[in-house]
Structure formats: structure tokens, C-alpha cells
Structure 1
Amino acid sequence: MTEVVWLDNGLLRLGLVPALGGRLLSLSGADGREVLWRNDKLLTDELQLRREHRPVSGSLGDWVNYGGDKTWPAPQGWDHDGQWAGPPDPVLDSGPYSAEVSAEVATLTSGDDPRTGLRLTRRFELRPGRGAYRLRLTARNTSDRTVRWALWNVTQLAADGDGGTYVGGPPEVTELLSGTGFPRWEANRGVYIPHQDVVGKLGFPAATGWLAHTGGGVTYTQRFTVDADAEYPDEGSRVEVWMEYPLPSPLAELGDLDPPARIVEIEVLGPLTTLEPGATATLELDCTVTAEEVS
């Protein structure tokens, strides 16, 4: 049996699987509606594995995408040691995390990754009497060298049907990555990116500290602090939105990426931080689930 950590305050229920890269793989409100996208071909509703899991590294085509919410280091890339060559990787993405659990708090900690020099910690704390939780991310340099990384939190949600993502801030948009094209967007309460069939990514260098996804009658909001004086990865992106949908064949130009479903990723990034041995960087997200649509 796969270990599953459940946190429940009566208004919000979180399901965490330490063995799968410390992922949050279920998030539901009092009505039981699932907020996150999860790969049902790989996991049951009880978050049990349908097949054996092995930590792996390789190209995007080798990635086993379970879904949910996870934390990675940025920038991503395959050109030099200052870029994270994942997913997948065998420690931070698909390796086992340890878990410390109390009534409404769970802290998941990765192993020490020799390539990045990092150990990642994800601390989930339910907010009493609210459909909300705080996610505190920590990256510690456990190596004997100086490293420079940004924390990067990635949340996958279903992009079927009506809905989309709002990013707070001026409509400054950077086209970051195109598989089949770049997602279209419009100026609306900042920037709005509707659900659409495209494989591509946008960056938001002027994001002001909040984003929200709507769909299926549920709004999921993440709020975070922005450091206006700091340097951010990916052409200064504080937020990124990635979209994908199933294709007739894998995308060779993206490492044979083979999207399993219509998915939108809402991604919050921290500033690039130089870490001496033993030093840490942190990023906090305040996350809320409500039954209303953003209008």
C-alpha cells in the first residue's frame, strides 16, 4: 500500500503522497468536488498506485505525470549545470519524500539532490474554519558548493470545458515556449487565459501576487509575495501558465512530450537566490478553494 497523508478540517481535504515526489494529489472542498487534475490511469481515487513506481530521469517523454501539485527548482533546461534537467529526475520530482504529520500540518521533505545541491521541503497547513491552506516551500543547499536557484511550484488542473486562469497585474505577457503555439489571452482583471487546445507556455513578469483558476463551479486561488527588486527566472517570470492537450503523436521538439489530457498548469516562481552551503530560500503560497466563479 502506498502511504497517503490526509489533512481535513471539515471544509477542505488534502491528499498527499510522499512517495511520489511529495505531491499533493487530491484537493476537495466540503462538497467533495476534486480541484486538481490527477492521472486516473496511474492512481485510484484513494491515491493508490495502479502500477509500480520507480524514480526515473530522462527526457520529457520519460516523465510519468501523476498530476497534482509539486515543487521543482528553476530555471529548467538541459544545456548546463545551472538549469534543472527535469522532469523527470530521480530525487526532487519522482523520488520519495519523508513525512512529518500532525492534526492539520504535514511537512514533506525530499532527499538531497546531488545535481542541484538542493533538498526541498513542502509544509502544508490547513487554516482553521476556512477552505484554505498555506504552503511553505523551502530549498536548502545541502552541497559543499554555492548554487543559484528559484523555487517553482506547479499545480495541474483540468482544462476541459469552460474556465480559465486569471493572473493579477498589468497585461505584460512573455511568450516562453511553443509546442503547437502560444496560449491566447485577454486583458481582464489583469490577464485571463481561457481553456483552449494548445501546447505552450506564457510568462508574466509583472504579476502582482495572485492568480486564480476557475472551472466546474470552483475557483482555486493562490496568493504570494512578489519581490519587485529581485531577479526571476525565464525572462523575469513571476508566474507562468502552461497548457497542453492530447496529440496524435509525441512532440519530438519537446523531448517527445506526450500530453495525457487537457491540462492547465498554474506556476508560481520565487526569485533567483544564491545559496551558500547550508543556506535556504523560502516561498509561501496562501491557497483558497471557493464555490464561486471569478467574474
Structure 2
Amino acid sequence: LNALRVSITISCLFCLLVSCISIRNDKKITRQDDIYTLSLGDISFSVSSEKGGRIISFKRGSRELLATDIVHPLYYGSTLWLSPQSDYWPQYPNVDKLPYRAEIQNDVFRLISQSDSLSGIHIIKEFSLSEKDASVLISYTIENTSGQRKKLAPWDVARVFGGLSFFPVGEDIEINKSDVEGAYEKNGIMWYPFTNGLNEKGQKLFSTAHGGWLAHYYNNLLFVKCFPDIIPDEMPLGQGEAEIYVAPKGIYLELENHGKYTELLPRQSIQYKSLFKF
């Protein structure tokens, strides 16, 4: 197991720096009902416009990374939430549940949320594939459409099945805490090797991060999630920069990252960019 962890860590860092696969130039965007799929080589990435603009699949060949709606009717796939949880829970329906309007412009797939006077929030999601290494480039824009100031942060959530999750830990501060059984830090890396799924209640790990990445190894896939690195003073209240949530019975995990906590005046917006890759 230790040798596997070392191998995965080296591979992850290497993939962050250089292209590690050669891809044929057959990039395309296809549609089936409300499902839009971006594909390149053996990589496919699917998003539902009807289900809150949710990412519902990320595959290499036939191997699926993301947990599907089999595990939960709402908490599956990958999505954008608003943070901190203390201020934005439950999430506004137009952010996470209601249909988005879809557009395709050249090689970019764009989703636009419904206008909503209750939330005062407008979301634009953009997805594209890099021809260099088949990574998925994700851009989220959050706009304050209300007449009042809002303070919030982007919260990126990817739900996966149990494997080996890890990321480099940042500053040692009070927010770093966990009740996730089996998670531990060694040589500056937080490790969570999924074990038995016997937990009766959900478990959560909160931590600072370093370098702006979080990785997960499952089904012979090494998934790397890259995001903007922030400092502790920029973290939303009560949240970590990186978090891992273990659902009851371990039926799925959430790999979470939070962006900079920002005050938005009316009509102001923030952009949060991330990258998914194998």
C-alpha cells in the first residue's frame, strides 16, 4: 500500500506539470435529451442541463469515476454550491436543482441558470476539453443579482466511490479537524484510504490545502482535481479549503474544495476556475 501511495503521488504531480497522454484530435460535443457530452479520445464528460447543470459522468473508456444517482437521488455527480454552509443551506433551487439553459459556442459548452429573485444569484457554467491532455476546463461565474451585498464563496463538490483520496495539507490551524475514521496525515499529505463503510453517520474532514489540488484513485483511475489555492484568511467561515465527506455506510464520498470568501456588491460577480483530469 505504501508503494502504491508513492506511485500515485508521483504520477499525480507529474500530470500536473506535463501532458501525460497523447490524444487524437477528435474533440466533439454531442447531445441526447438533456445530457450534453464532451469527448476526446477515450475521455468523456457529461452534464445534465435539466438537473441543476450537474456533471453526471466523467469516464475513461468504460470506467466511471463519479457516483451516479443510484447512490442518492440528489447527492450524486459533481456540482457547484455556495459557501459557507451556515449561510447557504439548503442550496437555492436555481443553483443546484432547477434546469439551466444550454448553449454551445465553438468548443465551449455553457449553462445559464434561471433568474431568481429569492436567491439573488445567477450562475454561468462553462466546460471545455483541452486538446493537449484531455483535461476538462471548468469555469463557474457567480453573479449577485440582488439589490444587497452578499458574501459567499464557491464550493465545488465531486461525489465518488471509495478508493484512496489524498491532497497536500497547508497551514496548521484550528479549522483542521476530522472525524473521518482512517484518515491521517503523513509527510505533509492527507491520506484517506477507504476501508469498510460501516459508519452509521456521515463523517467530515476539514483542512487547509497547499498547491491547489486534490486527488482520488479508484477503479484504476487517478483523478486529479485542480483549483485556485487560497490562504486561511480567505477561507469561508467554518469551512476548509479542502474537505472530504463520507456518507453514511460509505455509499459515496464527497471531494470538496472552497474558493475565496468574497463580498459581492449588486451586479458584481466572481469567477472560479477548476480542472478535472485523469
Relative to the length of structure 1, the TM-score reads: 0.74
1:230 Cα deviation from its structure 2 partner? 4.3
Counterpart selection for 1:13 from 37, 44, 52: 44
Q: Could you tell me whether the CA contact under 8 Å between 2:125 and 2:138 is conserved in 1?
A: yes
Write 1 or 2 for the structure with the bigger share of helix: 2
1:171 Cα deviation from its structure 2 partner? 7.8
Q: What amino acid is aligned across from residue 271 of structure 2 in structure 1?
A: T
C-alpha spacing 1:170/1:184, structure 2 compared with 1 (3 Å): farther
Residue 166 (str. 1) matches residue 166 (str. 2): yes
Q: Could you tell me whether the CA contact under 8 Å between 1:175 and 1:182 is conserved in 2?
A: no
CA distance in 2: counterparts of 1:235 and 1:149, whole angstroms: 12
Q: What amino acid is aligned across from residue 259 of structure 2 in structure 1?
A: G
Counterpart selection for 2:248 from 237, 245, 248: 245
Q: What amino acid is aligned across from residue 153 of structure 1 in structure 2?
A: D
The sequence identity of aligned pairs, in percent, is: 22
CA distance in 1: counterparts of 2:269 and 2:171, whole angstroms: 32
- Cα shift readout 1:210-232 (whole Å, capped 9, x = no counterpart): 11011111011011222327421
Q: Could you tell me whether the CA contact under 8 Å between 2:170 and 2:208 is conserved in 1?
A: no
1:16 Cα deviation from its structure 2 partner? 0.8
- Cα shift readout 1:229-264 (whole Å, capped 9, x = no counterpart): 742124351111111134xxxxxxxxxxxxxx6111
Task: Name the structure 2 match of 1:153.
Answer: 156
Q: What amino acid is aligned across from residue 84 of structure 2 in structure 1?
A: P
C-alpha spacing 1:174/1:144, structure 2 compared with 1 (3 Å): same
Counterpart selection for 1:23 from 49, 54, 57: 54
Q: Could you tell me whether the CA contact under 8 Å between 2:171 and 2:232 is conserved in 1?
A: no
Counterpart selection for 2:81 from 59, 67, 72: 72
1:131 Cα deviation from its structure 2 partner? 2.9
1:141 Cα deviation from its structure 2 partner? 0.6
1:122 Cα deviation from its structure 2 partner? 1.5
Q: What amino acid is aligned across from residue 191 of structure 2 in structure 1?
A: Y
- Cα shift readout 1:181-201 (whole Å, capped 9, x = no counterpart): 534312246111121423211
C-alpha spacing 1:8/1:169, structure 2 compared with 1 (3 Å): same
C-alpha spacing 1:158/1:10, structure 2 compared with 1 (3 Å): same
Residue 127 (str. 1) matches residue 155 (str. 2): no
Structure 2 counterparts to residues 74-113 of structure 1, below 5 A = 74-77=83-86, 83-87=87-91, 89-102=92-105, 104-113=107-116
Runs of 4+ residues deviating >3 angstroms: 113-116, 170-173, 181-184
- Cα shift readout 1:99-137 (whole Å, capped 9, x = no counterpart): 112453211121234344211122111011423111111
CA distance in 2: counterparts of 1:169 and 1:271, whole angstroms: 17
Structure 2 counterparts to residues 34-49 of structure 1, below 5 A = 34-40=64-70
Residue 235 (str. 1) matches residue 238 (str. 2): yes
CA distance in 2: counterparts of 1:205 and 1:128, whole angstroms: 32
